[in-house]
Amino acid sequence: MKTSAKKRTMRALGLAAILILGLFATAQAKVDGLYNGANPTFNLTAATGYIVGGDGAVLHIWGLSPQGGPVQYPAPTLIIPQGSTVTVNLTNQLAEPVSLVFPGQTNVQATGGIEGLVTREAVPGGTVTYTFTAATPGTFMYQSGSNMALQIEMGLAGAIIVRPAGFAIPGNMTAYGTADTAYDQEILYFQSEMDHRIHEKVDSGQASLVDLTTWFPYYWFYNGRNAPDVFSAAGVPWLPNQPYDCFPHLLPGQKMLLRIVGAGRDMHPFHHHGNSATLIAVDGQVLESTPGSNNPDLGEVLFTQPVLPGQTRDVIFSWNGNELGFDIYGHVATDPILEVEVFAAATLQDPLAETDTGVNVAAPSQGAFPKRRAFRAVLTSGLATDPAREVVVLRMDDPAQPNILTVVKRGQEGTTTPASWPANTSAVIGTYHGQIFAGPADNRFPVTLPDQKDLTMGAFYSGSPFLGAMGTLPPGEGGFNLNNGLAFMWHSHSEKELTNNNIFPGGAISIAIVEPFGTTIEQSAH
């Protein structure tokens, strides 16, 4: 690989990033990009640049730079309100014609430049203008429409996010403008790969000698970075041409929208540890049985997302600790019961007694409670003379009787004496931080950790099995999980893609952290 003083300096900066990335691991879940309001104009310039791999290698790229900014890999993410008329002015500083195409957008008009095979192209030193109306919300991509096998490989591709009408942060965050596509946090996974041998030839002025039939990637990227650089904050100065990070955070019970883009030539199986997730849209098209409803009733629950080349996927992920086998929240008797998810306002059909083995609860609106789930019920008799509320923990043990719930624990708020509740008492049923198992309902599940000498601790380990808790860590261990959340590896399920030029770990690896309640998570600006 070609070496210079400049490149040696950039390589050193890349290695320094590995050493100090933990200082910048703030809790966030956001999509960074260009936002110019309604009817935006984006001025982009195709030019050359360099990026740093997670192993410190310096790689030559062709990228797009926003007006006045450095060239970016991938191309800048364009964030657009639905219904906007979009103008993209492309200026070419490369030595060959360049153009852009916008899959998923209709009636794209191109002016200026010269006629190309697919669309009008900007000659070296020239400009071409594209206009279209962003008619439908969703996740899309844009890419080179000229000499595509080489130019997309070199980096001329980026993401487009069209926000639905009425979208607002916070308050009305939806992917497609409907309640069934609502979410609390979001993250972009722009997937690409690179054969560095091609980039070396282009860098040395030998682009004509590139043989694309021998293409074989050695680097894999999320949002233009590979591990461990994905964990450094967006916009860090030592990665000037790779401004986007990929380090999602969410709270228990929250819904995270994953916007996944397959920008390369290979299929990338994206695997999210911790839980399955629901695929709600492909290529900006909602998986719906009623056209135009934007209700993803045909959404598919998957544990791995097989992202095809050129494909985009919108996926909703959530985690609340249910069915793990122990109380991950580490409750003690004095802890308040926090409501994570409310299922229904129901009615107790039988009087509730301390010794009840089962309580008949009116069916919730969705027809049945989720099986093997423990619930928090807040009861009220409705009597003016008895306004006190009582917290009861219920559990469905028999899926064949979805409305017969077992009493696990009960206790009147503010007192130690349970009240006596008549039939038809109202109740609001919600989750109780996950499954409740044998033993006192509010006590920690007994967990005895091995001796420190028998443990191998990772950078994201808090020293404790409980969410939000810090345990004993030896010197030099941990430190990247600032709030003691639970870390899940989100990565490619193709093993070769977990390397940087055949060195593990690296490549398409990221970490998602479920943060404890009370943690503030930085969200997208637009």
Structural domain ending residue among the three candidates 375, 408, 431: 431
pLDDT of residue 371: 60
Q: Which of 149-158, 369-378, 497-506 has the lowest mean pLDDT?
A: 369-378
Q: Kindly state whether residues 313 and 405 are assigned to the same domain.
A: no
Report yes or no: 163 and 154 within 8 Å, Cβ to Cβ.
no
pLDDT of residue 490: 97
Q: Which of 151-155, 207-211, 309-313 has the lowest mean pLDDT?
A: 207-211
- 384 in a structural domain: yes
Query: Residues 182-203: pLDDT tens digits?
Result: 999 999 999 999 999 999 999 9
Confidence of residue 249 (pLDDT cuts 50, 70, 90): very high
Looking at every residue in the chain, the average pLDDT score rounds to 84
Q: Kindly state whether residues 312 and 363 are assigned to the same domain.
A: no
Q: Kindly state whether residues 301 and 401 are assigned to the same domain.
A: no
Number of domains forming the structure of the chain: 2
Does 307 score more than 90 pLDDT?
yes
- 357 in a structural domain: yes
Whole-prediction pTM value?
Answer: 0.82
- 479 in a structural domain: no
Q: Look up the CATH number of the domain holding residue 218.
A: 2.60.40.420
Does 446 score more than 70 pLDDT?
no
Cα–Cα distance measured from residue 430 to residue 243, given in angstroms and rounded to the nearest whole number: 41
DSSP secondary structure string, 364-408?
PTTSSPPTT-EEEEEEE---TT----EEEEEE---TTSTTEEEEE
Does 337 score more than 70 pLDDT?
no
- 54 in a structural domain: yes
Q: Which range marks the domain in which residue 347 is found?
A: 342-431
- Joined tokens for residue 171: 């308050």
Does 365 score more than 60 pLDDT?
no
Query: Residues 123-166: pLDDT tens digits?
Result: 999 999 999 999 999 999 999 999 999 999 999 999 999 999 99
Amino acid at 155: G
* Residues above pLDDT 70, as percent of the chain: 75
- Joined tokens for residue 272: 């999210």
Does 6 score more than 70 pLDDT?
no
pLDDT of residue 257: 98
Mean pLDDT value of segment 232-255: 94
Q: Which of 36-45, 78-87, 433-442 has the lowest mean pLDDT?
A: 433-442
Q: Kindly state whether residues 311 and 408 are assigned to the same domain.
A: no
Closest listed residue to residue 257, CA positions, set 296, 210, 212: 296
- Joined tokens for residue 1: 């690989």
- 125 in a structural domain: yes
Query: Residues 20-43: pLDDT tens digits?
Result: 343 334 588 899 999 999 999 999
SS3 content of the chain, % helix, strand, coil (to 5): 10, 35, 55
Beta-carbon contacts of 172 under 8 Å, excluding residues fewer than 6 positions away, are: 166
Top-confidence residue, 5 or 432 = 432
* Residues above pLDDT 90, as percent of the chain: 60
Report yes or no: 479 and 463 within 8 Å, Cβ to Cβ.
no
In three-state form (DSSP H/G/I as H, E/B as E, the rest C), the secondary structure along 444-507 is CCCCCCCCHHHCCCCCCCCCCCCCCCCCCCCCCCCCCCCCCCEEEEEEECCHHHHCECCECCCE
